[in-house]
Chains A and B, each alone.
Chain A
Amino acid sequence: MSNHPENLRYSKEHEWLTAAADGVATVGITEFAANALGDVVYAQLPEVGTTVTAGESCGELESTKSVSDLYAPVTGEVVEINTAVMDEPALVNSEPFDGGWLFKVRITDEPGDLLSADEYTAFTAG
């Protein structure tokens, strides 16, 4: 059902990641994850300047029913966060791959198991 943009890479914790430009990539959660969460009502994002570590929690997303950890798909320094999402968390649901992006990270290391769009589609279908 979810359509996964071809130009992104994906983590098994359902984050997406753009191709890095000047070493900086944009991170969000997938439509699949947003649908599973339901309406997101609060986003706690990592602070600019902090270092996030691939596979480790770097924030949280609250929905009506639950709170979920936000995992960093790569290791690096957070250079920008989406303040629009903090004001309007519903953007994560309405525009998960676009206006609902969460933070930008200057990548210092990335794990070898990031998925392509096709691989992520297969992963979520399984």
Chain B
Amino acid sequence: MSSTAAPRRTALDALHRSLGATMTDFAGWDMPLRYGSERDEHLAVRTKAGLFDLSHMGEITVTGPEAAALLNYALVGNIASVGVGRARYTMICRADGGILDDLIVYRLADTEYMVVANASNAQIVLDSLVERAEGFDAVVRDDRDAYALLAVQGPESPGILASLTDADLDGLKYYAGLPGTVAGVPALIARTGYTGEDGFELFVAPGDAEKLWEALTEAGAPAGLIPCGLSCRDTLRLEAGMPLYGHELSTSLTPFDAGLGRVVKFEKDGDFVGRTALTAAAERAAAQPPRVLVGLVAEGRRVPRAGYSVVADGQVIGEITSGAPSPTLGRPIAMAYVDAAHSAPGTAGVGVDIRGSHEPYEVVALPFYKRRK
């Protein structure tokens, strides 16, 4: 990682600064952490709407007659079965089954896909796809600089977006995407997100980003839309039980270890990178469950942080991967990998070692929060 280089700035950088954002270095990008209170931003997304700059995410375009075959080989999902205009949550693994990244793949046309990687892994994903493309009649293109990404999330987001576009939003299902025009700006409109709410992600040319941001701000303000930073994005995804690479996911875990074995499609045609190792991992997980990803809810008010030990009877039985005060629950929450014997919801006697003191926690099923549809 080129962590010594100056952080990259998104097309909206000047706008964030004019809004008084607190900025943070995230995966080599200078990104808004929050504009005001992160709790207010979190609650705006839960109850009204929030506007995010996610331009750090890494877009990679795959085209060609064998684009589908390449992605079926390179990724663990059945990408060939994704319909045009639809999207799929999937993963890219190493030959040993370790997770390199979790991805969203959009099928833009019969022979054109867009792969969206986490900023921290975008280069690795790009390099892996290029390497795995050898022998396929397909082209892998680095489109990280071709797009700015804005997200409008929250229950008011369909109404806000509808006021700025003629696109058929009612016909746009969850995990679908279509090209359109928003506020006069050409955009790929996707009904995806990372907040647990209904919402949209808008991929646009960087030169159009400011115009779109300002149009969304103006159209959304009456409905309560406010700009939102990465801090609340993290608490929103945590409440929704969504994994974050580097926390719940890593190269030392297979999708089965992370409780996400369902993304691995053994039934698809042909070989794929990791098939042998993942077959073994699936059998291991079925026979002798490894640690299990669970939710923890604090009985007290001290907040568990990533890396803290989960304890029972004075023994370490697991480790926190993400933790934060939950604005929705009003209590600290966490995700943790714990020994299977202690993973059932309601398991008694589980605590978290918070700087030497064992604080009681309740084991719960994920997610912590699910929106009413």
Contact = CB atoms under 8 A, between A and B. Distances in A.
A binds B: yes
A14 to B, nearest CB: 16
Contacts of A90: 39
Interface stretch (B85-93, B206-214, B300-308): B300-308
Contacts of B303: 41-42, 62, 67
Given A35-B22, A41-B325, A42-B325, A62 B302 contact: yes
Contact of A64 (B302, B325, B355): B325
B38 interface: yes
B301 A39 contact: no
Nearest to B303: A62
Contacts of B34: 38
Interface string B36-75: 0111000000000000000000000000000000000000
Nearest to A1: B20
A64 B39 contact: yes
A64 B231 CA distance: 8
- If over half of B's interface residues share one DSSP class (helix, strand or loop), that class is named, otherwise mixed; here it is mixed
Interface string B115-150: 000000000000000000000000000000000000
Interface residues of A, number: 13
Interface string A54-98: 000000001011110000000000000000000000100100000
Contacts of A44: 302
Interface string B316-342: 000000001100000010000000000
Which of A35, A39, A90 has the most chain B CB atoms closer than 10 A to its own CB? Answer: A39
A90 to B, nearest CB: 8
Contacts of B332: 41
B254 interface: no
B235 interface: yes
Interface string A17-40: 000000000000000000100110
Nearest to A36: B22
A39 B302 contact: no
B68 to A, nearest CB: 41
Nearest to B354: A67
A62 B38 contact: no
**Which of A35, A62, A67 counts the most chain B CB atoms within 10 A?**
A62
Given A35-B22, A67-B303, A67-B305, A62 B325 contact: yes
A42 B39 contact: no
A64 B22 CA distance: 14
B324 A64 contact: yes
Given A62-B325, A64-B324, A65-B231, A41 B305 contact: no
A39 B38 contact: yes
A89 to B, nearest CB: 9
B197 to A, nearest CB: 18
A42 B301 contact: yes
B299 to A, nearest CB: 13
B187 to A, nearest CB: 31
A87 to B, nearest CB: 10
Contacts of B231: 38, 64-65
B305 A39 contact: no
A39 B330 CA distance: 13
Nearest to A38: B38
Given A62-B302, A65-B231, A39 B37 contact: yes
Interface string B336-373: 00000000000000000001000000000000000000
A90 B39 CA distance: 10
B37 A42 contact: no
A65 B225 CA distance: 23
A64 B42 CA distance: 11
B300 to A, nearest CB: 9
Nearest to A89: B301
Contacts of B324: 64-65
Nearest to B305: A67
B38 A64 contact: yes
Interface centre among A41, A67, A93 (most CB of B within 10 A): A41
Given A39-B38, A42-B325, 12 more contacts: A38-B37, A38-B38, A41-B325, A44-B302, A62-B303, A62-B325, A64-B39, A64-B325, A65-B33, A67-B303, A67-B355, A93-B37
12 contacts: A38-B22, A38-B34, A38-B38, A38-B231, A39-B38, A41-B332, A64-B39, A64-B324, A64-B325, A65-B33, A67-B303, A67-B355
Q: Which 7 A-B pairs have the closest CB atoms?
A: A41-B325, A42-B301, A39-B39, A62-B303, A64-B38, A39-B37, A38-B38
Interface of A: 35, 38-39, 41-42, 44, 62, 64-67, 90, 93
